[in-house]
Every structure is written in structure tokens, then in C-alpha cells.
Structure 1
Amino acid sequence: MTTTDPAALADRVADGELRIHELEDHADYDTAAEARRLLVERETGADLEAVADYTFDAEQADPNVDNMIGAAQVPMGVAGPVPVDGSAAEGDYYLPLATTEGALLASVNRGLSTIRSVGGATTRVTKNGMTRAPVFRVGGVAEAAEVVEWVADNVDRLREAAESTTSHGELLDVEPYVVGDSVYLRFAYDTKDAMGMNMVTIATGEACELVEEETPADLVALSGNLCSDKKPAAINAVEGRGRSVTADVLIPGDVVEDRLHTTPEAIAEANTRKNLTGSAKAGSLGFNAHAANVVAAAFLATGQDEAQVVEGANAITTMDARENDEGTTDLYASVSLASLEVGTVGGGTKLPTQAEALEILGLRGGGDPAGSNAAALAEVIAVGSLAGELSLLAALSSRHLVSAHEDLGR
């Protein structure tokens, strides 16, 4: 039975006649969302007027959320423009960032302005591969070795099985790991312009059936956490996941002094003592100042999987004071993000706000060639992260961090 009365639907859920996730079976998507809001307002006393004020059809969000009641609105700003010399990104870019942290956009924009004043930043994607690592049970180490040998001899068969499930994904490699009677196979794929987690999961499931048919291995779990998704992991810092991308810039000393109000030597020392030595003492997997700030804000703005900020912010920042031919000192600055998992198609990138943010970048949808838009997005985010690192380290080394927040009232 369908109805256009959200109050009646809320009553039916409250009476136990319907379950809250069944509302779309009895009404259109927006009516179902309104019925849930009414139910939640009755049960909790909350006023959901702002939550209800969204601008897209609720049906558009069906692939992205369950039990929808509305939308969470995060302020979005823009930083830039900045010239980017990348393997995929080329030209001037504005970077949209969604955040609730005051002063973040101002800080990133200061860094981008400094980079722009010296002609822009250079950036390259150095590795690409979205991973999924199933775990298998074997009888012991002899059977484990048998599985490892079979995999090495049959990568082409595994590739054929995996790629039979997708018209875009390509299997790049399968790396085995043995722990006692457990065998982990870390599959890595080129997922083109998609972030690709669903793609690689389906493809790996097909390949696992072949492994079970041809070896003594029994699949225990399609993900054995050697992938490793949405968790801090050294394997991602070393081997990469998604796109590994580095950005760098060389800034003359006088520009550092004029724009950042400090010196190359002071920034380099702050980076060494804070980001390198301090992070090592803390046992950190990331050796950076606040790469997560830019990664998270860019992810929210452009519709990425926000939980993957865990891996995306796994970055190393380097700062080096370099003497030039004129006998003065320049600042070499870089940031290397080992596992930045981004896409420009699928997932949250199809939602209207996020699609518009990708349009700001000129990177909405699939690229030509395939994969170029996602690679360009990774490169622009890396430059934004570099700008954030420059600005914060300059504020710390000049002792302006507190005053900057006070001046901005945040």
C-alpha cells in the first residue's frame, strides 16, 4: 500500500506495522525521508528543520545512504587558484574544501598563494593500485607453499577470472603472504577513474573461486585486512594503496620571508624536529603536520569515502634549506601521500553537491584516457596538502599559530 501522508507512515512504523527501512516500499523516497524525520522528532524531541532542507531528490542518494532523514550540510570553501604541473593535472586549479575547522581554508590558501608566486608546484602519481587481500585456510606450511607456487604460475588465469567481472578494472599483481596455516593474497588493480572498492571486491571474489578449485586453499574471508582498508597500516605506507602521489616546490628564501614571515632554515628545522623526530618518537605512521585536514576536506567536498582519510593522510613531509648558485638559501618542500584513494566516478561523486565540486576542478566523471581524472584529482589534493604543510610549519616556526587563530576569531 502506498501513501503520500508521511505522518501516517510514521504512525505505522511506531505501531510496529512497518520497519523503518521499509518505508521506500510504501512511498516515494522524499516522503519516506519525511516520515522518518517525523518519527525521530517524536521519539527524541529534536527539531530537524535544517536536516530536512536539502536540494536533491532523495532517490539520488539511495545508493549512498540507508534510512535517509535528510542531509548533513558542511560549509564548503575554495582555495587557489594554483598552477599544477602534474602527470595528469596541468594548469590552474581551484580546490574546493568542505570543513568545519575555522582558519583551515585561510591557511591552505596562504600556502597556495606562496606556491603560485613561484610558478606553481610539480606533482606526480608514482604508483597506482587498489587492493583487496583475501585470507585462505590451508593444512600447514607445505600446502601454503603449494598455493603460493600455483599463484605465481597462474597470474594470467587469475587475471582472466577477475577481469571477467568488470569492463574497466585491470588486475596488476597478486602478492602472497604466509602466516602459519593462513595464506593471504594481496590483489592490486587499476580501477581507472573509480575509487574501485566494490569493483575489486567483486573481481577478487571471482578469482578466489579459481584458487579454491585449483589448490588446497579454503577461503575464510574475502578481506583478510592485508588490503588494508580504513585502518592505519604500515603496508599501505610502504606498498601504497589507491594512488601514491608526491608534490614538491622550490621557494626562494626572500619569498619565504616576505610571504611566510620566517626563513627556510627555520621551517626545515621545525619539520625535522616535529614531523620527523617527533612523529618517530610517537610511533606515528604519518610523518606530517596535518595532511589529514586537506585530505578530509577534499574528500567531503568531492564525494570520496571519508573513512579512507585514515590511509589518505598517511604522508611524509620533507623540508630542506638548499643553498643556491647565488649563495642564498631556498626552501625545498615536498609531501608524499602513499595511499590516496580517490575517484571521479561512482559512489558519492554522483551526488549533486559533490559533482559540482568536481566541476570546479574540471574533473567530473571519467577522464580521457580512462583514469586521468582520478589521477589529476590525486595530484591536486597533494598540492593542497603541500600548501597546508607549508603554511602550518611557517606559522609554527614564526610562532604565529596562536595569533593567526586569534586574529581570525577561531
Structure 2
Amino acid sequence: MAIPFNATSNTMMQESSISIPTKVIGPVAIVGEEVNANVNVPLATLEKPMWPSTNRGASVSRHAGGIHCHILNDSMTRSVLLQGESARYLQHVIHDLSKKNSEIQRTIQTTSHHIALKDWHWQVVGNLLYFRLEVTTGDASGHNMVTKAADALLQWLLAEYPKLKYVSISGNYCVDKKVSAVNGILGRGKYVVAEINIPRAICIERLKTTPEAIVNLHIKKNLLGSSIAGGVRTANAHFANILLALYLATGQDAANIVEGSQGFVHTELRDSHDLYFSVTLPNIIVGTVGNGKELDFVRKNLEMLGCHANTHPGSNARRLAIITAATVLCGELSLLAAQTNPGELMRAHVDYERGQAIYREPHPTTTITS
């Protein structure tokens, strides 16, 4: 991101801020080994129907036994880009590096006590080497931490293999804030699955639709619609909406909704009449320490979420990722249910945005419950 500065004095311009309406929805009922609680969730958005809609999903979570959440992978990545004299030389470098994991680990740990090597991967194009570093970063989202580690690794690589030449600290094989296939395959951020079993009666009563209608819409909209649109590793209705609202409320890097929104909804009929509903988000990138977390509203929201506790490093960020996935499920479930009924989606937007019948003046501390 470019930083505005005064060309004459070479100093940054005066800082200002913007205000985004924020409401607290929930509680969202979450079940699991890492988070087992009912959690109120702040959402910052200009799209007013998101609050009551996501809150409807939260209500379903409480009446259906909770949302089960699981973190399957946890890492942050950066790919450095180097140039060699030939592909044959790069083949030698890669083979040699496969025996030097301990040296790579020592090199990156000189940059932080909270970073650890998890894995690395490579791609070669001609005489170019793309080296993708995968690390764990504790409670930080890890953008700067992994870049600092990659910078140290670059210096070590250039010293260890003198025929290599520097091209870039980031070779776009990371992949940071861009649509890709590699992030979902190899991992970037926290890979979280959230799932819930919804009895038929609750589906009809709370969502005003049937399990069959939601499964049918998911197939025809999320799966087939995303396919004909050329979607890359994505089959969902609006993951990005919920991610952005929660990221803004908790001081995250909002641009990470690009890779974060690449995820899947999966639905099934259970026992011929109940609804299994899940969301899979391979790239949730969140932190509870670092840039932006010093802001007062961010600190208060993290405390409300239980993500500001004095606990094992990494636990707060993992809790936030789980809450994020569960909230995405609430929003996704409610929107898909609404779209099974002709006119419901548009009526909601007219009522809450144009008519402003209920939420006329959002207040940063307002809580919605039902």
C-alpha cells in the first residue's frame, strides 16, 4: 500500500480515520475442542441487512446444537524469487536444500522468537526459482513476520549459492491478496471447517424454507453457477461479506478477503429430512497482535470475543479464526435460505436500507439478539 507523503518535507500527511457502523450479533453457538461457547460477534458494515440476516443464522446455531469448528492447517507464506544460470543448476539447489531444513529453520528464527518453519515448496520456470516459505506465526497474522523471515532467508540463500541472483522478496507464489489455486491446496492462513446439523423443523421454523430447497439451490447456484462463471476453488454465496465485516471490526488486513473468500459450501440431506450444512475456508488470515490491534475499538472487540486472553501463543488467533468461520456459516446459511423464496432478499434490502424500518441509526455498541 502506498503511503501518502509531502514531497517537499518527505513526511507523511496528517492521519485521519473513517467510521463504519458496527453491530454485535449473536450469540453464535460454537462447539469444539478449541472453542466451546456462545459468542457475540461484532460486524462492521454499510450493508444493513447483513446484521439481521447473520443474526438469523446465529439463532439457528443455538437451536440446532451449535456449529462444530475444526482447524485443519495453520500457516503463513511468502515466496522469494531468485534467478540461476540454468534449470539444471536450480535442480542442484533444490536437491541440496532438501537436506538443510535445520539451517533454514535457524535462519528464519533469527528474526523472531514466535516464528517456526513448517514447510517449503518450490516451482521452477526456466532459470527462475520460486521458493515458497511456510511458517507458523503465533497470534500474529504474520504478513510482516514471514516477510522478515524471507528477507533473512534470501541473504542466506545468496551466500550459500553464489550463482543465484536476487529478483524479488515476493514472487507471487505466496499468494498474497490475489485469487489463486495454490493457497487452498498448500495452505495460507488458517484452514477452517465449520459444520452444523439442522433438524427439519428448525429449518422450516427459523429459515422459512426446507432442507431440500437449500440443497437444491446450493447445487444450482454455488456449484454450477460458480463453475460456469469460471470461479477458482470457490462455491459460496457471499463469504466475502462476512469476512470483511469481521475483519474491519477486529483490526485485520481487509484485503485478505480476496483469498479468504475462496471457499466452499457443502450441503447434504441427513436421514432423508434434516440438513447438514458446512463452510470450508482454507485461507482465513487473522491475528490478535500486531498492526491495528492497538486501536481502542479493536482491543474492545477482541476482548468481547475472548481473543485477548493471556494464554498459549497462537490460541487467541486460532479462536478468532474459528469464530470467523462460524459467523460465515451463519451468514451463508441465512442468505441461501432467503434466496429459496422469491422476493425475500429484495424485501430485506428495501426494509433495512431504504425504509430503515428497524435499524434507523446504527450505534457501535448495539447488540442484536433473538
Q: Normalised by the size of structure 1, how large is the TM-score?
A: 0.82
Match runs of 1:14-163 below 5 Å: 19=9, 22=11, 67-163=13-109
Match runs of 1:378-397 below 5 Å: 378-397=321-340
1:184 aligned onto 2:127: no
1:266 aligned onto 2:213: yes
Give the aligned partner of residue 303 of structure 1.
251
Partner amino acid for 2:38? D
The whole-number CA distance in structure 1 between the counterparts of 2:173 and 2:195 is 30
Give the aligned partner of residue 157 of structure 2.
211
* Among candidates 246, 250, 253, match of residue 200 of structure 2: 253
Which runs of no fewer than 5 residues in structure 2 stay unpaired? 1-5, 355-370
Partner amino acid for 2:332? E
How far did residue 92 of structure 1 move? 1.2
How far did residue 68 of structure 1 move? 3.4
SS at match of 2:287: coil
> C-alpha deviations, 1:29-77, integer Å up to 9, x for none?
xxxxxxxxxxxxxxxxxxxxxxxxxxxxxxxxxxxxx533421000111
1:362 aligned onto 2:309: no
The whole-number CA distance in structure 2 between the counterparts of 1:403 and 1:202 is 49
The whole-number CA distance in structure 1 between the counterparts of 2:331 and 2:187 is 22
How far did residue 405 of structure 1 move? 2.1
The whole-number CA distance in structure 2 between the counterparts of 1:90 and 1:213 is 49
Q: Which has the higher contact order (CA 8 A, sep 6+)?
A: 2
RMSD: 1.5
The whole-number CA distance in structure 2 between the counterparts of 1:88 and 1:378 is 11
The whole-number CA distance in structure 2 between the counterparts of 1:281 and 1:86 is 36
SS at match of 2:41: strand
**Total equivalences in the alignment:** 346
Q: For the Cα contact (< 8 Å) 2:54–2:327, is it kept in 1?
A: yes
Q: For the Cα contact (< 8 Å) 1:87–1:125, is it kept in 2?
A: no
SS at match of 2:293: helix
How far did residue 408 of structure 1 move? 2.6
The whole-number CA distance in structure 2 between the counterparts of 1:409 and 1:181 is 55
Q: For the Cα contact (< 8 Å) 2:70–2:194, is it kept in 1?
A: yes
Q: Greater helix percent: which structure?
A: 1
Q: Normalised by the size of structure 2, how large is the TM-score?
A: 0.90
Which runs of no fewer than 5 residues in structure 1 stay unpaired? 1-12, 23-65
How far did residue 409 of structure 1 move? 4.2
Q: For the Cα contact (< 8 Å) 2:86–2:127, is it kept in 1?
A: yes
The whole-number CA distance in structure 2 between the counterparts of 1:255 and 1:315 is 26
The whole-number CA distance in structure 2 between the counterparts of 1:203 and 1:370 is 18
Give the aligned partner of residue 404 of structure 1.
348
Larger Rg: 1
Moved over 3 A (4+): none
> C-alpha deviations, 1:306-332, integer Å up to 9, x for none?
111111111111111222xxxx51100
> C-alpha deviations, 1:8-35, integer Å up to 9, x for none?
xxxxx8xx9x63x53xxxxxxxxxxxxx
The whole-number CA distance in structure 1 between the counterparts of 2:262 and 2:134 is 19
> C-alpha deviations, 1:339-358, integer Å up to 9, x for none?
11100001112211111111
How far did residue 88 of structure 1 move? 2.4
* Among candidates 207, 222, 247, match of residue 275 of structure 1: 222
Q: For the Cα contact (< 8 Å) 1:86–1:379, is it kept in 2?
A: no
How far did residue 253 of structure 1 move? 0.7
* Among candidates 270, 273, 278, match of residue 329 of structure 1: 273
Q: For the Cα contact (< 8 Å) 1:89–1:377, is it kept in 2?
A: no
> C-alpha deviations, 1:178-213, integer Å up to 9, x for none?
111111111011101001111111111111222112
Q: Which moved more, 1:127-136 or 1:209-218?
A: 209-218
Aligned-residue sequence identity (percent) comes to 37
Q: For the Cα contact (< 8 Å) 2:244–2:257, is it kept in 1?
A: yes
Give the aligned partner of residue 361 of structure 2.
none
The whole-number CA distance in structure 2 between the counterparts of 1:408 and 1:335 is 26
How far did residue 233 of structure 1 move? 1.2
SS at match of 1:350: coil
Partner amino acid for 1:370? P
Give the aligned partner of residue 367 of structure 2.
none
* Among candidates 211, 225, 230, match of residue 172 of structure 2: 225
The whole-number CA distance in structure 1 between the counterparts of 2:195 and 2:230 is 25
